[in-house]
Structure 1
Protein backbone atom coordinates (compact mmCIF):
# COMPACT_ATOMS: atom_id res chain seq x y z
CA UNK A 1 0.00 0.00 0.00
CA UNK A 2 1.18 3.54 -0.83
CA UNK A 3 2.21 5.49 2.29
CA UNK A 4 4.09 8.37 0.68
CA UNK A 5 3.90 9.83 -2.82
CA UNK A 6 7.21 9.62 -4.70
CA UNK A 7 8.30 11.20 -7.97
CA UNK A 8 7.99 7.85 -9.73
CA UNK A 9 4.38 7.59 -8.50
CA UNK A 10 3.56 10.94 -10.11
CA UNK A 11 4.78 9.61 -13.45
CA UNK A 12 2.66 6.46 -13.06
CA UNK A 13 -0.39 8.52 -12.10
CA UNK A 14 0.06 10.66 -15.23
CA UNK A 15 0.00 7.49 -17.34
CA UNK A 16 -3.18 6.31 -15.61
CA UNK A 17 -4.76 9.76 -15.93
CA UNK A 18 -4.13 9.79 -19.68
CA UNK A 19 -5.47 6.26 -20.13
CA UNK A 20 -8.60 7.00 -18.09
CA UNK A 21 -9.17 10.32 -19.90
CA UNK A 22 -8.77 8.62 -23.30
CA UNK A 23 -10.89 5.66 -22.17
CA UNK A 24 -8.36 3.11 -23.31
CA UNK A 25 -4.74 2.13 -23.82
CA UNK A 26 -4.65 2.48 -27.61
CA UNK A 27 -6.16 5.98 -27.59
CA UNK A 28 -3.63 7.06 -24.95
CA UNK A 29 -0.57 6.00 -27.00
CA UNK A 30 -0.22 9.25 -29.04
CA UNK A 31 -0.98 11.35 -25.95
CA UNK A 32 1.69 9.66 -23.85
CA UNK A 33 4.02 8.92 -26.77
CA UNK A 34 4.38 5.43 -25.36
CA UNK A 35 3.71 2.01 -26.82
CA UNK A 36 0.91 -0.09 -25.40
CA UNK A 37 3.14 -2.68 -23.62
CA UNK A 38 4.90 0.14 -21.75
CA UNK A 39 1.58 1.74 -20.82
CA UNK A 40 0.25 -1.59 -19.58
CA UNK A 41 3.39 -2.15 -17.50
CA UNK A 42 3.06 1.31 -15.92
CA UNK A 43 -0.59 0.71 -14.99
CA UNK A 44 0.29 -2.67 -13.49
CA UNK A 45 3.09 -1.11 -11.44
CA UNK A 46 0.73 1.62 -10.19
CA UNK A 47 -1.84 -0.99 -9.19
CA UNK A 48 0.85 -2.80 -7.21
CA UNK A 49 1.89 0.45 -5.52
CA UNK A 50 -1.71 1.26 -4.58
CA UNK A 51 -2.71 -2.35 -3.90
CA UNK A 52 -5.84 -1.74 -5.98
CA UNK A 53 -7.27 -2.91 -9.29
CA UNK A 54 -7.83 0.28 -11.26
CA UNK A 55 -9.18 -1.04 -14.53
CA UNK A 56 -10.13 -4.14 -16.48
CA UNK A 57 -8.70 -4.63 -19.95
CA UNK A 58 -9.32 -7.43 -22.36
CA UNK A 59 -11.80 -8.55 -25.00
CA UNK A 60 -14.54 -6.54 -23.31
CA UNK A 61 -12.51 -3.37 -23.74
CA UNK A 62 -11.22 -0.87 -21.22
CA UNK A 63 -13.31 -0.39 -18.09
CA UNK A 64 -12.41 1.37 -14.85
CA UNK A 65 -13.27 -0.19 -11.52
CA UNK A 66 -15.01 1.79 -8.77
CA UNK A 67 -11.64 2.18 -7.08
CA UNK A 68 -10.13 3.32 -10.37
CA UNK A 69 -12.80 6.00 -10.75
CA UNK A 70 -11.99 7.38 -7.29
CA UNK A 71 -8.25 7.41 -8.07
CA UNK A 72 -8.97 9.10 -11.41
CA UNK A 73 -11.00 11.90 -9.78
CA UNK A 74 -8.36 12.44 -7.08
CA UNK A 75 -5.60 12.40 -9.69
CA UNK A 76 -7.47 15.04 -11.67
CA UNK A 77 -7.57 17.25 -8.58
CA UNK A 78 -3.85 16.75 -7.97
CA UNK A 79 -2.85 17.66 -11.52
CA UNK A 80 -5.19 20.64 -11.59
CA UNK A 81 -3.50 21.87 -8.43
CA UNK A 82 -0.05 21.27 -9.99
CA UNK A 83 -1.03 23.25 -13.08
CA UNK A 84 -2.41 26.08 -10.95
CA UNK A 85 0.78 26.13 -8.85
CA UNK A 86 2.99 26.39 -11.94
CA UNK A 87 0.73 29.07 -13.45
CA UNK A 88 0.82 31.15 -10.24
CA UNK A 89 4.59 30.68 -9.91
CA UNK A 90 5.13 31.96 -13.45
CA UNK A 91 2.94 34.95 -12.63
CA UNK A 92 5.40 35.99 -9.93
CA UNK A 93 8.03 36.22 -12.70
CA UNK A 94 5.70 38.12 -15.08
CA UNK A 95 5.52 35.01 -17.25
CA UNK A 96 1.89 34.74 -18.39
CA UNK A 97 1.88 31.27 -19.86
CA UNK A 98 0.62 27.84 -18.88
CA UNK A 99 -2.73 26.23 -18.13
CA UNK A 100 -5.82 27.93 -16.71
CA UNK A 101 -8.47 25.69 -15.18
CA UNK A 102 -11.99 27.01 -15.69
CA UNK A 103 -14.96 25.36 -13.94
CA UNK A 104 -18.47 25.78 -15.31
CA UNK A 105 -21.59 25.04 -13.31
CA UNK A 106 -23.49 22.26 -15.05
CA UNK A 107 -26.61 23.36 -16.88
CA UNK A 108 -25.54 26.90 -17.82
CA UNK A 109 -27.68 28.49 -20.56
CA UNK A 110 -26.42 28.03 -24.10
CA UNK A 111 -25.91 31.80 -24.73
CA UNK A 112 -23.56 31.92 -21.74
CA UNK A 113 -21.71 28.86 -23.01
CA UNK A 114 -21.30 30.72 -26.30
CA UNK A 115 -19.91 33.69 -24.36
CA UNK A 116 -17.43 31.40 -22.57
CA UNK A 117 -16.25 30.05 -25.93
CA UNK A 118 -15.76 33.57 -27.30
CA UNK A 119 -13.89 34.67 -24.16
CA UNK A 120 -11.63 31.61 -24.35
CA UNK A 121 -10.88 32.32 -28.01
CA UNK A 122 -10.14 35.97 -27.31
CA UNK A 123 -7.86 35.17 -24.35
CA UNK A 124 -5.89 32.53 -26.22
CA UNK A 125 -5.47 34.92 -29.16
CA UNK A 126 -4.07 37.67 -26.93
CA UNK A 127 -1.76 35.48 -24.83
CA UNK A 128 0.26 33.19 -27.08
CA UNK A 129 1.16 30.39 -24.67
CA UNK A 130 -2.06 29.96 -22.70
CA UNK A 131 -4.15 26.79 -22.62
CA UNK A 132 -7.52 26.60 -20.88
CA UNK A 133 -8.85 23.45 -19.23
CA UNK A 134 -12.65 23.61 -19.13
CA UNK A 135 -14.50 21.32 -16.73
CA UNK A 136 -17.97 21.18 -15.18
CA UNK A 137 -19.10 20.78 -11.59
CA UNK A 138 -22.45 20.46 -9.85
CA UNK A 139 -23.93 23.54 -8.23
CA UNK A 140 -23.28 22.32 -4.68
CA UNK A 141 -19.58 21.75 -5.48
CA UNK A 142 -18.87 25.30 -6.65
CA UNK A 143 -17.72 26.75 -3.33
CA UNK A 144 -15.36 23.84 -2.65
CA UNK A 145 -13.60 23.86 -6.02
CA UNK A 146 -13.11 27.65 -5.89
CA UNK A 147 -11.70 27.67 -2.35
CA UNK A 148 -9.59 24.52 -2.67
CA UNK A 149 -7.45 25.87 -5.50
CA UNK A 150 -8.62 23.09 -7.80
CA UNK A 151 -9.34 25.75 -10.42
CA UNK A 152 -8.60 29.39 -11.17
CA UNK A 153 -12.09 30.60 -12.04
CA UNK A 154 -15.66 29.34 -11.73
CA UNK A 155 -18.64 30.48 -13.81
CA UNK A 156 -21.87 29.93 -11.91
CA UNK A 157 -24.88 31.38 -10.18
CA UNK A 158 -24.57 31.48 -6.39
CA UNK A 159 -27.67 31.64 -4.21
CA UNK A 160 -26.02 30.51 -0.97
CA UNK A 161 -24.56 32.85 1.66
CA UNK A 162 -21.47 34.34 0.03
CA UNK A 163 -18.40 33.33 2.08
CA UNK A 164 -15.49 35.72 2.65
CA UNK A 165 -13.13 33.13 1.15
CA UNK A 166 -14.55 33.78 -2.34
CA UNK A 167 -14.41 36.79 -4.64
CA UNK A 168 -17.42 37.43 -6.90
CA UNK A 169 -17.25 39.22 -10.25
CA UNK A 170 -20.82 39.94 -11.46
CA UNK A 171 -21.40 39.27 -15.15
CA UNK A 172 -24.42 41.64 -15.11
CA UNK A 173 -26.59 38.89 -16.59
CA UNK A 174 -28.95 36.46 -14.95
CA UNK A 175 -31.07 33.37 -15.50
CA UNK A 176 -34.80 33.62 -14.96
CA UNK A 177 -37.09 30.73 -14.17
CA UNK A 178 -40.18 29.55 -12.38
CA UNK A 179 -42.12 26.54 -11.16
CA UNK A 180 -42.85 23.91 -13.80
CA UNK A 181 -44.90 20.73 -14.06
CA UNK A 182 -45.08 18.15 -16.82
CA UNK A 183 -48.15 18.06 -19.02
CA UNK A 184 -49.19 14.79 -17.35
CA UNK A 185 -49.08 16.30 -13.87
CA UNK A 186 -52.46 17.21 -12.25
CA UNK A 187 -51.33 20.83 -11.81
CA UNK A 188 -50.87 21.21 -15.56
CA UNK A 189 -54.66 21.16 -15.95
CA UNK A 190 -55.02 23.86 -13.27
CA UNK A 191 -52.41 26.30 -14.51
CA UNK A 192 -55.01 29.02 -15.19
CA UNK A 193 -56.51 28.88 -11.71
CA UNK A 194 -55.80 31.71 -9.24
CA UNK A 195 -52.64 31.01 -7.27
CA UNK A 196 -54.45 30.90 -3.94
CA UNK A 197 -56.58 28.01 -5.19
CA UNK A 198 -53.69 25.80 -6.32
CA UNK A 199 -52.51 24.62 -2.87
CA UNK A 200 -49.06 23.82 -4.19
CA UNK A 201 -48.00 22.33 -0.84
CA UNK A 202 -50.23 19.35 -1.64
CA UNK A 203 -47.95 18.27 -4.48
CA UNK A 204 -44.53 16.65 -4.22
CA UNK A 205 -41.71 18.90 -5.38
CA UNK A 206 -38.05 18.24 -6.23
CA UNK A 207 -35.35 20.47 -4.75
CA UNK A 208 -31.77 21.16 -5.84
CA UNK A 209 -28.87 20.55 -3.47
CA UNK A 210 -27.28 23.82 -2.36
CA UNK A 211 -30.12 26.06 -3.54
CA UNK A 212 -31.29 28.46 -0.84
CA UNK A 213 -34.49 27.33 0.90
CA UNK A 214 -35.82 30.85 0.29
CA UNK A 215 -36.46 29.78 -3.30
CA UNK A 216 -39.10 27.31 -2.09
CA UNK A 217 -41.12 29.70 0.07
CA UNK A 218 -43.59 32.40 -1.02
CA UNK A 219 -44.15 34.40 2.16
CA UNK A 220 -46.83 36.79 0.86
CA UNK A 221 -49.08 33.99 -0.34
CA UNK A 222 -48.10 31.79 2.62
CA UNK A 223 -47.28 28.91 0.31
CA UNK A 224 -44.34 26.55 0.60
CA UNK A 225 -43.26 23.84 -1.81
CA UNK A 226 -43.36 20.33 -0.37
CA UNK A 227 -39.85 19.03 -1.11
CA UNK A 228 -39.98 15.23 -1.23
CA UNK A 229 -36.69 14.55 -3.00
CA UNK A 230 -33.52 16.33 -4.15
CA UNK A 231 -31.50 16.48 -7.34
CA UNK A 232 -27.95 17.75 -7.84
CA UNK A 233 -28.42 19.79 -11.03
CA UNK A 234 -31.01 21.35 -13.31
CA UNK A 235 -30.64 18.38 -15.65
CA UNK A 236 -31.57 15.82 -12.98
CA UNK A 237 -34.32 18.11 -11.67
CA UNK A 238 -35.72 18.21 -15.21
CA UNK A 239 -35.75 14.40 -15.36
CA UNK A 240 -37.72 14.26 -12.10
CA UNK A 241 -40.25 16.83 -13.31
CA UNK A 242 -40.64 15.06 -16.66
CA UNK A 243 -41.63 11.89 -14.80
CA UNK A 244 -44.94 13.60 -14.05
CA UNK A 245 -44.64 12.91 -10.32
CA UNK A 246 -42.92 16.13 -9.20
CA UNK A 247 -43.05 19.85 -9.70
CA UNK A 248 -39.79 21.79 -9.64
CA UNK A 249 -38.00 25.10 -10.15
CA UNK A 250 -36.29 25.29 -13.53
CA UNK A 251 -34.73 28.06 -15.61
CA UNK A 252 -36.94 29.22 -18.47
CA UNK A 253 -34.36 28.16 -21.05
CA UNK A 254 -35.07 24.59 -19.90
CA UNK A 255 -38.74 24.89 -18.97
CA UNK A 256 -39.77 26.60 -22.21
CA UNK A 257 -38.16 24.03 -24.48
CA UNK A 258 -41.17 22.43 -26.28
CA UNK A 259 -39.41 19.06 -26.34
CA UNK A 260 -39.66 18.84 -22.53
CA UNK A 261 -43.47 19.21 -22.53
CA UNK A 262 -43.55 21.36 -19.41
CA UNK A 263 -46.02 24.06 -18.34
CA UNK A 264 -45.42 26.88 -15.83
CA UNK A 265 -47.64 26.81 -12.75
CA UNK A 266 -48.27 29.32 -9.98
CA UNK A 267 -47.65 32.40 -12.10
CA UNK A 268 -44.96 34.61 -10.53
CA UNK A 269 -45.40 32.95 -7.14
CA UNK A 270 -42.20 30.90 -7.35
CA UNK A 271 -40.42 32.76 -10.13
CA UNK A 272 -36.74 33.52 -9.62
CA UNK A 273 -33.85 35.46 -11.09
CA UNK A 274 -30.36 34.17 -10.30
CA UNK A 275 -27.38 36.39 -10.99
CA UNK A 276 -24.37 34.86 -12.76
CA UNK A 277 -20.79 35.38 -11.61
CA UNK A 278 -17.18 34.59 -12.25
CA UNK A 279 -15.88 33.35 -8.90
CA UNK A 280 -12.37 32.79 -7.58
CA UNK A 281 -10.84 31.89 -4.24
CA UNK A 282 -9.18 34.75 -2.35
CA UNK A 283 -5.82 32.96 -2.65
CA UNK A 284 -5.99 32.97 -6.45
CA UNK A 285 -3.60 35.45 -8.03
CA UNK A 286 -5.61 37.45 -10.56
CA UNK A 287 -2.86 38.12 -13.06
CA UNK A 288 -3.45 39.99 -16.36
CA UNK A 289 -4.58 36.77 -18.11
CA UNK A 290 -7.34 36.01 -15.63
CA UNK A 291 -8.41 39.65 -15.42
CA UNK A 292 -8.58 39.81 -19.21
CA UNK A 293 -10.69 36.63 -19.37
CA UNK A 294 -13.14 37.97 -16.78
CA UNK A 295 -13.56 41.24 -18.70
CA UNK A 296 -14.02 39.42 -21.99
CA UNK A 297 -16.58 37.01 -20.53
CA UNK A 298 -18.58 39.89 -19.05
CA UNK A 299 -18.51 41.63 -22.45
CA UNK A 300 -19.59 38.59 -24.45
CA UNK A 301 -22.17 37.54 -21.85
CA UNK A 302 -23.83 40.93 -22.24
CA UNK A 303 -23.86 40.48 -26.01
CA UNK A 304 -25.16 36.90 -25.98
CA UNK A 305 -27.69 37.17 -23.13
CA UNK A 306 -28.47 40.87 -22.82
CA UNK A 307 -28.21 42.81 -19.58
CA UNK A 308 -30.18 41.57 -16.56
Structure 2
Protein backbone atom coordinates (compact mmCIF):
# COMPACT_ATOMS: atom_id res chain seq x y z
CA UNK A 1 0.00 0.00 0.00
CA UNK A 2 1.07 3.63 -0.47
CA UNK A 3 1.89 5.16 2.91
CA UNK A 4 -0.05 8.38 3.46
CA UNK A 5 -0.21 10.84 6.36
CA UNK A 6 -3.25 8.94 7.65
CA UNK A 7 -1.28 5.69 7.59
CA UNK A 8 1.57 7.27 9.54
CA UNK A 9 -0.83 8.50 12.21
CA UNK A 10 -2.43 5.06 12.48
CA UNK A 11 0.97 3.36 12.62
CA UNK A 12 2.05 5.64 15.46
CA UNK A 13 -1.11 4.75 17.38
CA UNK A 14 -0.39 1.06 16.75
CA UNK A 15 3.22 1.44 17.95
CA UNK A 16 2.05 3.20 21.11
CA UNK A 17 -0.41 0.39 21.84
CA UNK A 18 2.29 -2.27 21.35
CA UNK A 19 4.74 -0.44 23.62
CA UNK A 20 2.09 0.10 26.30
CA UNK A 21 0.97 -3.53 26.12
CA UNK A 22 -2.66 -2.93 25.23
CA UNK A 23 -5.42 -0.49 24.37
CA UNK A 24 -6.25 0.58 27.92
CA UNK A 25 -2.62 1.05 28.88
CA UNK A 26 -2.07 3.32 25.85
CA UNK A 27 -4.83 5.77 26.76
CA UNK A 28 -2.55 8.02 28.79
CA UNK A 29 0.27 8.28 26.26
CA UNK A 30 -2.10 8.80 23.34
CA UNK A 31 -4.56 10.99 25.28
CA UNK A 32 -7.54 9.28 23.62
CA UNK A 33 -10.06 6.72 24.85
CA UNK A 34 -10.00 2.97 24.37
CA UNK A 35 -12.91 2.99 21.92
CA UNK A 36 -11.12 5.53 19.69
CA UNK A 37 -7.90 3.51 19.84
CA UNK A 38 -9.86 0.41 18.81
CA UNK A 39 -11.31 2.24 15.82
CA UNK A 40 -7.84 3.41 14.75
CA UNK A 41 -6.38 -0.11 14.96
CA UNK A 42 -9.35 -1.54 13.02
CA UNK A 43 -8.87 1.13 10.36
CA UNK A 44 -5.16 0.26 10.10
CA UNK A 45 -5.97 -3.45 9.76
CA UNK A 46 -8.36 -2.65 6.92
CA UNK A 47 -5.69 -0.58 5.18
CA UNK A 48 -2.96 -3.25 5.46
CA UNK A 49 -5.37 -6.11 4.73
CA UNK A 50 -4.67 -8.41 7.68
CA UNK A 51 -5.08 -8.71 11.45
CA UNK A 52 -2.37 -7.05 13.52
CA UNK A 53 -3.31 -8.14 17.02
CA UNK A 54 -5.69 -10.22 19.07
CA UNK A 55 -7.59 -8.37 21.76
CA UNK A 56 -10.27 -9.48 24.15
CA UNK A 57 -10.69 -11.15 27.50
CA UNK A 58 -7.43 -13.05 27.06
CA UNK A 59 -5.56 -9.75 26.72
CA UNK A 60 -3.55 -8.04 24.00
CA UNK A 61 -1.27 -10.12 21.75
CA UNK A 62 0.46 -9.31 18.48
CA UNK A 63 0.06 -11.60 15.51
CA UNK A 64 3.24 -12.55 13.70
CA UNK A 65 2.42 -10.09 10.91
CA UNK A 66 1.61 -7.49 13.54
CA UNK A 67 5.03 -7.92 15.09
CA UNK A 68 6.68 -7.40 11.70
CA UNK A 69 4.56 -4.30 11.04
CA UNK A 70 5.58 -2.88 14.42
CA UNK A 71 9.30 -3.45 13.77
CA UNK A 72 9.10 -1.97 10.27
CA UNK A 73 7.11 0.98 11.64
CA UNK A 74 9.86 1.77 14.14
CA UNK A 75 12.41 1.71 11.32
CA UNK A 76 10.18 4.02 9.27
CA UNK A 77 9.82 6.47 12.16
CA UNK A 78 13.59 6.54 12.65
CA UNK A 79 14.13 7.23 8.94
CA UNK A 80 11.60 10.07 9.03
CA UNK A 81 13.24 11.52 12.13
CA UNK A 82 16.63 11.38 10.42
CA UNK A 83 15.14 13.17 7.38
CA UNK A 84 13.78 15.88 9.65
CA UNK A 85 17.18 16.18 11.27
CA UNK A 86 18.90 16.51 7.89
CA UNK A 87 16.53 19.26 6.78
CA UNK A 88 17.03 21.07 10.07
CA UNK A 89 20.78 20.82 9.61
CA UNK A 90 20.43 22.63 6.31
CA UNK A 91 18.85 25.48 8.31
CA UNK A 92 21.77 25.38 10.76
CA UNK A 93 19.50 24.10 13.55
CA UNK A 94 19.68 20.58 14.92
CA UNK A 95 16.23 19.04 15.12
CA UNK A 96 14.47 15.69 14.99
CA UNK A 97 14.31 12.73 17.31
CA UNK A 98 17.31 10.86 18.69
CA UNK A 99 16.89 7.40 20.23
CA UNK A 100 19.73 6.27 22.51
CA UNK A 101 19.83 2.89 24.24
CA UNK A 102 21.71 1.56 27.24
CA UNK A 103 21.93 -1.56 29.37
CA UNK A 104 20.56 -1.19 32.89
CA UNK A 105 22.22 0.18 36.02
CA UNK A 106 24.95 2.29 34.42
CA UNK A 107 23.70 5.58 35.83
CA UNK A 108 25.92 5.26 38.95
CA UNK A 109 29.08 4.76 36.89
CA UNK A 110 31.15 7.99 37.01
CA UNK A 111 32.14 7.58 33.35
CA UNK A 112 28.57 7.05 32.09
CA UNK A 113 28.39 9.97 29.65
CA UNK A 114 24.72 10.28 28.67
CA UNK A 115 23.57 12.74 31.35
CA UNK A 116 26.50 15.10 30.85
CA UNK A 117 26.30 14.84 27.07
CA UNK A 118 22.61 15.79 27.08
CA UNK A 119 23.35 18.71 29.39
CA UNK A 120 26.06 20.01 27.06
CA UNK A 121 23.93 19.37 23.99
CA UNK A 122 20.97 21.32 25.38
CA UNK A 123 23.14 24.35 26.08
CA UNK A 124 23.09 24.95 22.33
CA UNK A 125 20.00 25.93 20.36
CA UNK A 126 18.18 22.84 19.09
CA UNK A 127 14.74 21.32 18.59
CA UNK A 128 15.65 17.71 19.37
CA UNK A 129 13.47 15.17 21.15
CA UNK A 130 15.43 12.50 23.04
CA UNK A 131 14.18 8.99 23.68
CA UNK A 132 16.19 6.83 26.09
CA UNK A 133 15.75 3.05 25.94
CA UNK A 134 17.00 0.61 28.60
CA UNK A 135 17.21 -2.99 27.40
CA UNK A 136 19.42 -6.05 27.23
CA UNK A 137 22.68 -6.01 25.26
CA UNK A 138 21.30 -8.45 22.68
CA UNK A 139 18.14 -6.43 22.08
CA UNK A 140 20.04 -3.16 21.84
CA UNK A 141 22.39 -4.64 19.24
CA UNK A 142 19.41 -5.86 17.21
CA UNK A 143 17.67 -2.51 17.50
CA UNK A 144 20.74 -0.61 16.24
CA UNK A 145 21.18 -3.08 13.36
CA UNK A 146 17.50 -2.76 12.44
CA UNK A 147 17.60 1.02 12.59
CA UNK A 148 15.04 1.23 15.41
CA UNK A 149 17.47 3.17 17.59
CA UNK A 150 20.39 5.36 16.58
CA UNK A 151 23.04 4.32 19.09
CA UNK A 152 23.45 2.29 22.26
CA UNK A 153 25.86 1.81 25.15
CA UNK A 154 26.57 -1.73 26.29
CA UNK A 155 29.27 -4.30 27.07
CA UNK A 156 31.37 -5.58 24.19
CA UNK A 157 31.17 -9.36 23.76
CA UNK A 158 32.08 -9.96 20.13
CA UNK A 159 32.35 -8.18 16.79
CA UNK A 160 29.08 -8.15 14.87
CA UNK A 161 28.93 -7.55 11.14
CA UNK A 162 27.16 -4.28 10.45
CA UNK A 163 27.89 -2.68 13.83
CA UNK A 164 30.62 -0.24 14.80
CA UNK A 165 32.01 -0.33 18.35
CA UNK A 166 33.85 2.57 20.02
CA UNK A 167 35.26 2.15 23.52
CA UNK A 168 33.77 4.38 26.21
CA UNK A 169 34.69 2.98 29.63
CA UNK A 170 35.35 -0.19 31.61
CA UNK A 171 33.24 -1.68 34.39
CA UNK A 172 34.45 -3.97 37.16
CA UNK A 173 32.21 -6.83 38.33
CA UNK A 174 32.62 -8.47 41.73
CA UNK A 175 30.90 -11.19 43.74
CA UNK A 176 28.62 -9.94 46.53
CA UNK A 177 26.42 -11.36 49.26
CA UNK A 178 23.79 -9.77 51.48
CA UNK A 179 23.44 -9.21 55.22
CA UNK A 180 23.02 -12.49 57.20
CA UNK A 181 24.78 -14.55 54.52
CA UNK A 182 27.45 -16.87 56.09
CA UNK A 183 30.21 -15.00 54.23
CA UNK A 184 29.02 -11.50 55.13
CA UNK A 185 31.75 -9.54 56.91
CA UNK A 186 34.49 -12.15 56.50
CA UNK A 187 37.86 -11.07 55.14
CA UNK A 188 39.95 -13.34 52.92
CA UNK A 189 41.72 -15.11 55.79
CA UNK A 190 38.54 -15.63 57.81
CA UNK A 191 36.78 -16.90 54.72
CA UNK A 192 39.44 -19.58 54.19
CA UNK A 193 39.00 -20.79 57.79
CA UNK A 194 35.21 -20.70 57.60
CA UNK A 195 33.82 -24.20 57.00
CA UNK A 196 30.55 -23.72 55.12
CA UNK A 197 28.54 -25.83 52.66
CA UNK A 198 28.40 -24.85 48.96
CA UNK A 199 26.62 -21.54 48.58
CA UNK A 200 23.57 -20.87 46.43
CA UNK A 201 24.41 -18.65 43.47
CA UNK A 202 22.46 -16.44 41.09
CA UNK A 203 23.07 -16.79 37.37
CA UNK A 204 22.43 -14.07 34.80
CA UNK A 205 20.45 -15.32 31.79
CA UNK A 206 22.58 -13.24 29.43
CA UNK A 207 25.85 -14.61 30.95
CA UNK A 208 24.57 -18.05 31.93
CA UNK A 209 27.50 -20.18 30.76
CA UNK A 210 30.05 -17.61 31.92
CA UNK A 211 28.56 -17.55 35.44
CA UNK A 212 28.24 -21.34 35.67
CA UNK A 213 31.90 -21.69 34.72
CA UNK A 214 33.06 -19.00 37.18
CA UNK A 215 31.09 -20.38 40.11
CA UNK A 216 31.67 -24.01 39.15
CA UNK A 217 28.00 -24.96 39.38
CA UNK A 218 25.84 -27.03 37.06
CA UNK A 219 22.57 -25.47 38.16
CA UNK A 220 21.54 -22.19 39.76
CA UNK A 221 19.21 -21.66 42.68
CA UNK A 222 18.07 -18.40 41.07
CA UNK A 223 18.31 -16.59 37.73
CA UNK A 224 17.89 -12.92 36.80
CA UNK A 225 17.60 -10.88 33.64
CA UNK A 226 18.83 -7.55 35.04
CA UNK A 227 21.17 -6.04 37.61
CA UNK A 228 18.29 -4.62 39.62
CA UNK A 229 16.81 -8.10 39.95
CA UNK A 230 20.23 -9.36 41.05
CA UNK A 231 20.36 -6.70 43.77
CA UNK A 232 16.92 -7.68 45.08
CA UNK A 233 17.94 -11.33 45.48
CA UNK A 234 21.37 -10.57 46.95
CA UNK A 235 19.84 -8.37 49.65
CA UNK A 236 17.90 -11.40 50.88
CA UNK A 237 21.18 -12.78 52.25
CA UNK A 238 20.59 -16.17 50.61
CA UNK A 239 22.85 -16.04 47.55
CA UNK A 240 26.13 -15.06 45.92
CA UNK A 241 26.10 -13.16 42.64
CA UNK A 242 27.82 -10.59 40.43
CA UNK A 243 27.18 -6.85 40.53
CA UNK A 244 29.07 -3.91 39.00
CA UNK A 245 31.19 -2.42 41.78
CA UNK A 246 29.90 1.14 41.23
CA UNK A 247 26.27 -0.01 41.40
CA UNK A 248 26.78 -2.09 44.56
CA UNK A 249 28.73 0.56 46.47
CA UNK A 250 25.70 2.40 47.88
CA UNK A 251 24.43 -0.78 49.55
CA UNK A 252 27.92 -1.72 50.69
CA UNK A 253 28.16 1.67 52.42
CA UNK A 254 24.78 1.03 54.04
CA UNK A 255 25.99 -2.29 55.40
CA UNK A 256 23.49 -4.30 53.34
CA UNK A 257 25.94 -5.87 50.87
CA UNK A 258 29.41 -7.37 51.31
CA UNK A 259 32.02 -7.67 48.62
CA UNK A 260 33.22 -11.26 48.93
CA UNK A 261 37.06 -11.27 48.75
CA UNK A 262 37.50 -13.54 45.75
CA UNK A 263 39.89 -11.63 43.44
CA UNK A 264 40.12 -14.55 40.99
CA UNK A 265 36.37 -14.16 40.39
CA UNK A 266 36.51 -10.44 39.55
CA UNK A 267 36.41 -9.39 35.92
CA UNK A 268 36.22 -6.20 33.87
CA UNK A 269 33.87 -5.56 30.97
CA UNK A 270 34.40 -3.05 28.16
CA UNK A 271 31.44 -0.77 27.49
CA UNK A 272 31.12 0.49 23.94
CA UNK A 273 29.21 3.03 21.92
CA UNK A 274 27.35 0.93 19.35
CA UNK A 275 26.24 2.42 16.03
CA UNK A 276 25.29 1.00 12.65
CA UNK A 277 28.27 0.71 10.31
CA UNK A 278 26.38 0.98 7.04
CA UNK A 279 24.42 4.05 8.02
CA UNK A 280 25.54 7.55 7.08
CA UNK A 281 25.45 9.45 10.35
CA UNK A 282 23.23 12.50 10.40
CA UNK A 283 24.72 15.69 11.75
CA UNK A 284 22.53 15.23 14.83
CA UNK A 285 23.81 11.73 15.56
CA UNK A 286 27.41 12.68 14.80
CA UNK A 287 27.22 15.70 17.11
CA UNK A 288 25.75 13.75 20.01
CA UNK A 289 28.03 10.72 19.73
CA UNK A 290 31.04 13.06 19.70
CA UNK A 291 29.77 14.50 22.98
CA UNK A 292 29.33 11.01 24.43
CA UNK A 293 32.90 10.04 23.61
CA UNK A 294 34.29 13.35 24.91
CA UNK A 295 32.39 13.07 28.20
CA UNK A 296 33.38 9.44 28.76
CA UNK A 297 37.03 10.31 28.10
CA UNK A 298 36.98 13.33 30.42
CA UNK A 299 35.19 11.52 33.29
CA UNK A 300 37.00 11.19 36.64
CA UNK A 301 38.83 7.97 37.48
CA UNK A 302 36.56 5.47 39.24
CA UNK A 303 38.63 3.75 41.93
CA UNK A 304 35.70 1.54 42.96
CA UNK A 305 35.35 0.11 39.47
CA UNK A 306 39.07 -0.15 38.97
CA UNK A 307 39.25 2.15 35.99
Question: If the TM-score is normalised by the length of the shorter chain, which range does it land in?
Answer: 0.7 to 0.9
Deviates more, 1:224-233 or 1:133-142: 224-233
Give, in whole Å, the separation in 2 of the partners of 1:260 and 1:17.
44
- Counterpart check, 1:293 vs 2:255: no
User: For residues 80 and 110 of structure 1, do their structure 2 counterparts lie closer, same or farther at Cα, with a shift above 3 Å needed?
Assistant: farther
Number of corresponding residues: 288
Q: Distance in 1 between matches of 2:194 and 2:209?
A: 21
Change (3 A) 1:211 1:66: same
Task: Determine the structure 1 residue equivalent to 2:274.
Answer: 279
**Contact 2:100–2:130 under 8 Å retained in 1:** yes
In the TM superposition, residue 103 of structure 1 has moved relative to its aligned partner by: 0.9
Q: How has the CA–CA distance of structure 1 residues 305 and 208 changed in structure 2, closer, same or farther, with 3 Å as cutoff?
A: farther
Structure 1 residues 90 and 42: CA distance shift in structure 2, 3 A: closer
Q: Answer yes or no: is 1:156 the counterpart of 2:154.
A: yes
Task: State the partner residue of 2:167.
Answer: 170
**Cα distance between partner residues in 2 of 1:269 and 1:5:** 60
Secondary structure of the residue that 1:210 maps to in structure 2?
A: helix
**Is the 2:154–2:272 contact (alpha carbons within 8 Å) kept by the matching residues of 1?**
yes
- Could you list the per-position Cα deviations for residues 105-162 of structure 1 after superposition, in whole angstroms to 9, with x for gaps in the alignment? 122133569731231243355462432221111233232222222211001122x222
Matched, 1:83 2:74: no
Unaligned runs of 5+ in 1: 57-63
Report the more deviating stretch, 280-289 or 120-129: 120-129
**Greater shift after overlay, 84-93 or 94-103?**
84-93
Is 2:135 the counterpart of 1:122? no
Measure how far apart 1:238 and its partner are.
1.9
Match of 1:224 among 202, 216, 233: 216
Match of 1:185 among 177, 181, 188: 181
Gaps of 5+ in 2: none
**Counterparts in 2 of 1:187-202, with a 5 A limit?**
187-188=183-184, 190-193=186-189, 202=198
Partner of 1:252: 245
How far, CA to CA, are the matches of 2:257 and 2:175 in structure 1? 10
Equivalences for 1:1-308 in 2 at 5 Å? Answer: 10-18=8-16, 21=20, 23-25=25-27, 28-29=30-31, 38-45=36-43, 50=51, 52-54=53-55, 65-67=59-61, 77-89=71-83, 95=90, 97-111=95-109, 115-126=113-124, 128-158=126-156, 160-171=157-168, 173-188=169-184, 190-193=186-189, 202-211=198-207, 213=209, 224=216, 228=220, 229-258=222-251, 261-306=256-301, 308=307
SS of alignment partner, residue 126 of structure 2: coil
